[in-house]
Amino acid sequence: MALPKIMYPQFDILIPSLGKKSKFRQFLVKEEKILLTAKSSADDSDILTAVSQVVQNCSMNDNFNVNKIAIFDLEYIFVKLRGLSVSNKINLSYKDFEDDQLYDFEVDLDKVEIEKSSDISNKIMISDTVGINLRYPSANIYSDKDFLKSTEENATIELIIRCIDKVFDDSTVYDPQTFSRDELLEFINGIDINSFQKINEYISNAPKMKYVISYKNSLGNNRTIVLSTLNDFFTLRWVIIH
Question: In the prediction, which pLDDT does 13 show?
Answer: 95
Residue 238, pLDDT score: 35
CA-CA distances (angstroms) from residue 48 to 51, 107, 118, 227? Answer: 5, 22, 28, 18
pLDDT of amino acid 161? 92
Q: Which helix (H) or strand (E) holds 227?
A: strand 222-227
Note the pLDDT of residue 242.
Answer: 34
70: buried, middle or exposed (CB in 10 Å: 19+, 13-18, 0-12)? buried
pLDDT at position 240, please?
Answer: 35
List C-alpha distances in Å: 151 to 139, 142, 146: 20, 16, 10
The ranges of the chain with pLDDT < 70 are 42-44, 235-242
Instruction: Name the nearest CA neighbour of 202 among 116, 76, 77, 75.
Output: 116
Sheet holding 208-216, edge to edge: 113-115, 208-216, 222-227
Burial class (CB in 10 A: 0-12, 13-18, 19+), 192: exposed
Tell me the per-residue pLDDT of 3-32, one tens digit each, with 9 for 90 and over. Answer: 888 888 899 999 999 899 999 999 988 998
Q: Beta strands of 54-170 (E only): which ranges?
A: 89-96, 101-108, 113-115, 123-125, 131-134, 164-168
pLDDT of residue 8: 84
Residues 6+ apart with CB under 8 A from 239: 94, 95, 97
Q: For position 235, what pLDDT does the model report?
A: 57
Rg value, the chain, Cα? 21
What are the angstrom distances between the C-alpha of 213 and each of 21, 184, 224, 240? 27, 42, 6, 14
Query: Please, are residues 112 and 150 in contact by the beta-carbon 8 Å criterion?
Result: no
